[in-house]
Structure 1
Amino acid sequence: MKLRRLLTLAMAAQVIVTAVALLASYAVTGAGFGMPEIIALIASGAVAVLLARFCARRIETSQQKQAAAQLAEQAQASAQMTQAVIKTALDAFVQTDANGIVLEWSFQAEALTGWTRQEALGTDAVDLLVAEPLRDGFRQRMMRLLPELSNTPIGIRFEATLLHREGDEILIEASSTALQIGGRTVINSFVKDVTQKRAAEEQLIQAQKMEAVGQLTGGIAHEFNNMLTVITGTIEILADAVKDNPPLATITKLISEAADRGAALTSSLLSFARKQALQPAEIDVNDLLEELAKLLLATFDKNIEIVTRLDGKIWLAFADRGQLSSALLNLAINARDAMLDGGRLTLATRNVVFGVREAVAVGAGYAGDYVEIEIADTGTGIPQAILERIFDPFFSTKDVGKGTGLGLSMVFGFVKQSGGGIKVNSTEGRGTTFTIYLPKAETSTLRPAGYDERKVVGGTETILCVEDDRDVRQFVTVQLQSLGYKVIPAANAAEALAIAGAGTPFDLLFTDIVMAGALNGRELADEMVAMRPSLRVLFTSGYAHDAPHGPGHVTMGAPLLPKPYRKAELARMLRRSLDTAVDAAGDPIPTPYSVQADVEDFLHKHSSDLDGR
């Protein structure tokens, strides 16, 4: 603006000078336009040209300086913005030349690699970050990528394994671009650590693989259980028929024992697949631990000593026997893995009574009586840094393929679901102790020695038996009839609904859960109970994925008889279902009780008060 004003003033002065010259010439000569006027005009024009050139050069020089200043300011602002982006970026920034020499090294790069900026600048990035045996190969790879970088404006993305200053491997993902600055190639790379991300992805893949295997395993176990149901049931009939023939009785016993082993195998498969409904019952944990000790003695290395310290007066615990067995075996295997050079595994039990504070400390559901199970090893122990995470799903210290990271989380879930608690104490180099607390069963004493849980009690009621497997349906019909019941067989839910719709009377619906057709057993039971609220229901299944105990179903709480089952088990579950008193709406009728004890207690207290007076 100042130069333009100067030029305007100069032009105005030139006009004034010209006018004055002309007036002066006219005043002196008194004549018209002559030589003096021409000279004055030429002089005035020369002055105007000189003034214009002078001002134009000043303007041009000023504009160049101004443009240069603006460019410098923009460059400085851009550099500051670039530095701000680099400093605030979540990823590390590394700048190198075409030979891999470090030109720039951000704070995040320091945190990622352990090398400071002062240590990194001017060094070879490959020598700094790549293990020595891999450096030549890494350089060759980078040289192959350099032309691609130069021809790709958007850059390229790649993964590589780098070495931390402390020696740990880091899996990184880098986004690199190449720039030509001052005749040389500069490579800018943003680098982020994806070690944990890849580990999580691998764990997810492992878990998905195990889930797929579990689905397959559960399906196979379901079909196998259907066959075992027929085998285990019919062998009882055969054994009864040949009981007076010792050679044949021995053979039937061998068949029965093999069928029991097959049933145990499918139970383990279903437990592995997590498709087995939790069925808590009164169990003697001492018996369970003695069986576990025998199994461990037969399978563990001889350099591991198995010691049992079982309380002879242990209470009965209330938990699922199969799930508890799996949990204890899981803990024992973990203990074995921690004692590669041998050691001692101790299995112990005792009774404990918790107050509120003690129950909260171990995570138990409530204050009261508990059965304590302790599994202690003399292995390597668990580092304190990860001790609080061992029950987290997918957390594992084992190599990929050697564990899913779900073992301890499943133990924790089972114990909590059972209303108990679990705690762990560990010292590195000395060993680990897991302690499980399970609620005491309502029965306060052990079962009498003469207790026979296979006592068979039949009935005369009518049972609608729904089973889509023909062989199993025929076997169950024979077993039910042998127990005295009247049986109405149905091959699927549609047939069963047709029988019920025709008004056929029956006392109990005995149905498989997993069946072909539009309705499964649970859905069939829901519809039938909606029509007949007082109907009793007993479920059976070799694959309890669609368990009947989920909320929102009218058959919630109906008992489940797992396949395969013996005749005595079938008889006991039938009586359990039929003998429960219900009203016309299907609700349980409270068991009558006497108030005589309360009356006597009141009269006794009243009499004592009178005597005291």
Structure 2
Amino acid sequence: MKLRGLLTLAMAAQVIVTAAALLASYAVTGSAGFGTAQLIALLVSAAVAALLARLCTRAIETSEAKRAAAQSAALSQARSDSAQMTQAVIRTALDAFIQIDDSGVVLEWSLQAEALTGWTREEALGADVVDLIVAEPLRAAFRQRMARLVPELSAAPSGMRFEVSLIDRNGDHILTEASSTVLRVGERSIINTFVRDITHKRAAEEQLIQAQKMEAVGQLTGGIAHEFNNMLTVITGTIEILADAVKDNPPLATITKLISEAADRGAALTSSLLSFARKQALQPAEIDVNELIEELAKLLATFDKKVEIVTRLGGNVWLAYADRGQLSSALLNLAINARDAMLDDGKLTLTTRNVVFGVREAVAVGAGYAGDYVEIEIADTGTGIPRAILERIFDPFFSTKEVGKGTGLGLSMVFGFVKQSGGGIKVASEEGSGTVFTIYLPKAETSALRPTGYDDRKIVGGKETVLCVEDDRDVRRYVTVQLESLGYKVISAANAAEALAVSAEGTAFDLLFTDIVMAGGMNGRELAEQMVAARPSLRVLFTSGYAYDSLHTQGRATMAPLLRKPYRKAELARMLRRCLDTAVDSAGDAIPTPYSVQADVEAFLRRQAAEDNGTTRPRR
């Protein structure tokens, strides 16, 4: 608008000057013709026009120069702002930024790159990126890959994403995810790369995959163990009947003993399978792990005098909450494995301490939740575990021992027990440098009741009526025979529906003895809950070889005792009397009874008598 106004003003001035000059020439000459005076006037007008044109040209040039300068300044500011924004993005990005040319020379190195690799920006700029962050054996192949990278990036405008293993300043390996793009600057190619550390993410993914695999295998082994327990229940029970019948025939009695021992070994095997599958019904209580470790150390000292046993027990270590028997078995298993890994001699170190986990630490060791844990560490100086098989050591039936020297269930059982207890386990091993197993058990928050002694030698029956619910036909027949041999009246049902039908008919019975895991729409726990709701004073006894998940579901009837398969006649008789002899009121609640020490006194006297009979006391 200013330039247009200036030109308009100049043209108007030119018209005015020309008109004034002509009028002045006519006034001087007094003639209306065109003469010298008019010519002079036109020349003056032309001179003024030339002057105005010059002034306008200068004004236009000045205006254009200012506009060009303003545009240049704006462009420069935009470039500066863009550069600052780019630097801000690089500085605030969570990922490391590395810029190199096509020969691999570092042009830019962000703060995150410093944190990731340990190399400072001053050290990295101008250096060869391959020498900085690629392991020595891989550098030649990495340079060949970089030579092919520029053409590939040029053909991919959106860039490329790939995983690459790098090393930091200390030589530690870092698994990273890189996103690269290429920028042409004249004849040069500039490669911009954002690098993200995914080491912990990949470890978490692998841990999840391993956990899912172990869970799947656990479901399979748990189901198999359940079916075997049903068969073993029939075998172990009926062999007792057979043994009693042939006790006066030594050859047959020997055979029945062999069968019984084989059945016991089968029961132990299925117990290990259930422990791995985390389907074993545990009996957790407060445990002084330091006391347990001391007992274990004394036991191990008798195994092999060449192995040095060292205990490093932390002071004021918390009580752990776990099954004492299962923990003893797990620690003994780990200790024996450690001993076997030390061929000639070595040192086995048992350590305890308190640890407090946040969410991240708990996840890292596979613990159930953040909080307080008791740590138990078993370290040996043996041969170590090869990296190739380290991830498989907890798989069931996986063993590196010779055939016949191990079942492959030891570490599986340890893993299952720890996970079922709400704890975590980790292993660190390097071939030739020994192995360290670390177990984390939850801290005991409240005191747990400890079971009192019980005389299991007496087999006591009864006259009550028992409703027996079992979906396995052979087990049902066996249980019926055993219950009748104990004097009980038996009503049998093949499933929950039949049991409910018996109850609906008004048939009287004193105790519901039911399997937990049954085919059909209702399991034993749900059956018990429904029956107890209608008959509050009804006694309930559960049985299962696969009972953990069902028992640990909320419900009134889940407070009933559990008889684990396979069981023998004496165990069945004891559990039945435990249920039937407990006094309950009309609402089904236990009636408190005065505490008696009679059972403890009798047990003490029996032990004293056994000791007296087994030893000969010298006479004075």
TM-score, normalised by the number of residues in structure 1: 0.75
**Partner deviation per Cα, 1:235-290 (whole Å, 9 max, x = no partner):** 000000000000110111111111111111111111111111223699999xx999
Q: Is the 8 A contact 2:134 2:166 kept in 1?
A: yes
Moved more, 223-232 or 581-590: 581-590
**Matched residue SS, 1:122:** coil
CA distance in 1, matches of 2:518, 2:553: 18
How far apart, in 2, do the equivalents of 1:5 and 1:340 lie?
104
* Offset at residue 58 of structure 1 (A): 2.5
Match of 2:581 in 1: 579
Q: 1:559 aligns with which of 551, 558, 561?
A: 561
Counterpart of 1:579, as a letter, is: D
SS of residue in 1 equivalent to 2:248:
coil
**d(CA) in 2 for partners of 1:375 and 1:65?**
75
Alignment partner of 1:542 out of 542, 545, 559: 545
Residue 119 of structure 1 and its aligned partner are, at CA, apart by 2.0
Shift in Å, 1:165: 1.6
Structure 2 vs 1, CA of residues 516 and 377 (structure 1 numbering), >3 Å: closer, same or farther?
Answer: closer
Q: 1:19 to 1:527 in 2, by over 3 A?
A: farther
Gaps of 5+ in 2: 312-319, 357-373, 396-410, 425-432, 597-620
Matches of 2:6 and 2:462, distance apart in 1 = 123
CA 30–509 in structure 1, closer or farther in 2 if over 3 Å, else same? farther
What's 1:461 paired with? 464
Task: Tell me the residue number matched to 2:204.
Answer: 200
Match of residue 143 from structure 1 = 147
Q: Any idea what SS the aligned residue of 1:582 has?
A: coil
Please show how residues 235-254 of structure 1 align to structure 2 within 5 Å: 235-254=239-258
- Equivalents in 1 of 2:423, 2:59: separation in Å? 92
Give the secondary-structure state (helix, strand or coil) at the position aligned to 1:517: coil
Query: After superposition, what is the alpha-carbon deviation per residue over 1:428-448, rounded to whole angstroms, capped at 9, x for unaligned?
Result: 99x99999999797689xx6x
C-alpha distance after superposition, 1:285-307 (max 9, x if no partner): 9xx99997999799x88853579
Q: Distance in 1 between matches of 2:341 and 2:7?
A: 93
Cα 1:26–1:242 change in 2 (3 A) is farther
- Residues of 1 paired with 2:125 and 2:440: CA distance? 54
Q: Which structure 2 residues correspond to residues 79-478 of structure 1 after superposition, within 5 A?
A: 79-279=83-283, 303-304=306-307, 320=323, 322-329=325-332, 332=335, 336=339, 342-343=345-346, 379=380, 399-402=390-393, 411=418, 414=421, 452-478=455-481
Residues of 1 paired with 2:322 and 2:162: CA distance? 53
Please tell me whether residue 481 in structure 1 is matched to residue 484 in structure 2: yes
CA distance in 2, matches of 1:322, 1:190: 53
3-state DSSP class of the match of 1:180?
A: strand
The letter of the residue matching 1:565 is Y
SS at match of 1:533: coil
Pair 115,416 (structure 1): closer, same or farther in 2 beyond 3 Å: closer
The whole-number CA distance in structure 2 between the counterparts of 1:143 and 1:544 is: 62
Do the aligned partners of 1:526 and 1:555 also contact (CA within 8 Å) in 2? yes
* CA–CA separation in structure 1 for the residues paired with 2:578 and 2:592: 16
The CA distance in 1 between the partners of 2:133 and 2:14, in whole Å, is 74
Counterpart position of 2:24: 24
Q: Cα deviation per residue 1:563-590 (whole Å; 9 max; x = unaligned)?
A: 0000000011111111111122211122
Kept in 2, the 8 Å contact 1:331–1:375? The answer is no
**How far, CA to CA, are the matches of 2:250 and 2:477 in structure 1?**
29
Distance 1:78 1:284 in 2: 65
| CA distances 1:188-209 after superposition (whole Å, capped 9, x unpaired) | 0011111121122112211221
Structure 1 unpaired stretches of 5+: 309-316, 349-357, 362-372, 382-395, 418-427, 595-613
The answer (yes or no) to whether the contact 2:285–2:448 under 8 Å persists in 1 is no
Question: In the alignment, residue 323 of structure 1 is paired with which amino acid?
Answer: Q
Structure 1: how far apart are the matches of 2:577 and 2:542?
13
Q: Aligned equivalents of 1:582 and 1:322: distance in 2? A: 31
Q: CA deviation at 1:475?
A: 0.7
C-alpha spacing 1:43/1:536, structure 2 compared with 1 (3 Å): same
Question: CA contact under 8 A between 2:350 and 2:379: conserved in structure 1?
Answer: no
Structure 1 pair 589–25 and aligned structure 2 pair: CA distance change class (3 A): farther
User: Any idea what the Cα deviations from partners look like across 1:54-113, whole Å, max 9, x if unmatched?
Assistant: 333322222222111111111111111111111121111111111211111112112211
Change (3 A) 1:199 1:320: closer
Contact 2:308 2:346 in 1 (8 A): yes
Deviates more, 1:245-254 or 1:585-594: 585-594
Change (3 A) 1:280 1:84: closer
Q: Which residue identity does 1:588 align to in structure 2?
A: A
Quote the sequence identity (%).
69
Deviates more, 1:467-476 or 1:337-346: 337-346
**For 1:70 and 1:443, how far apart are their aligned partners in 2?**
86
* Equivalent residue number for residue 61 of structure 1: 65
Q: Hey, what's the Cα distance between the residues in 2 that align with 1:359 and 1:274?
A: 25
Q: Check 1:262–1:554 CA distance in 2 against 1; reply closer, same or farther (3 A cut).
A: same
- State the Cα distance separating 1:454 from its structure 2 match: 3.4
The answer to whether the 8 A contact 2:179-2:193 is kept is yes
1:501 aligns with 2:507: no
Verify the 8 A CA contact 1:179 1:185 in the aligned structure 2: yes
Instruction: Give the aligned partner of residue 391 of structure 1.
Output: none
Q: Match of 1:584, as an amino acid? A: S
Give the root-mean-square deviation of aligned CA atoms.
4.5
Distance (whole Å) between structure 2 residues aligned to residue 30 and residue 284 of structure 1: 137
Corresponding pairs, count: 533
Match of 2:572 in 1: 570
Distance 1:347 1:50 in 2: 102
Q: Specify whether residues 280 and 154 from structure 1 end up closer, same or farther in structure 2 by C-alpha distance, changes over 3 A only.
A: closer
SS at match of 1:546: helix
The amino acid that maps onto 1:246 is P
Aligned counterparts of 2:33 and 2:175: Cα–Cα separation in 1: 94
Deviation at 1:46, TM superposition (A): 3.9
Residue type of the alignment partner of 2:538: L
Query: How far off its partner does 1:529 sit?
Result: 1.0
Work out the CA distance in 1 between the residues paired with 2:321 and 2:203: 39
Secondary structure of residue in 1 paired with 2:551: coil
CA contact (8 A) 1:514 1:546 kept: no
Paired residue secondary structure (1:509): strand
* In 2: Cα distance, 1:307 partner to 1:96 partner: 54
Contact 1:466 1:512 in 2 (8 A): yes
**Distance in 1, Cα, partners of 2:273 & 2:169:** 46
Query: How many angstroms apart in 2 are the aligned matches of 1:56 and 1:563?
Result: 105
- Check conservation: 2:469, 2:495, Cα contact below 8 A: yes
How far did 1:497 drift? 0.8
Mapped partners of 1:297, 1:174: distance in 2: 54
Q: 1:541 to 1:212 in 2, by over 3 A?
A: same
Mapped partners of 1:490, 1:412: distance in 2: 36
Distance 1:529 1:114, change over 3 A: same
Change (3 A) 1:131 1:216: same
3-state SS of 2:550 partner: coil
The 3-state SS of whatever aligns with 2:541 is strand
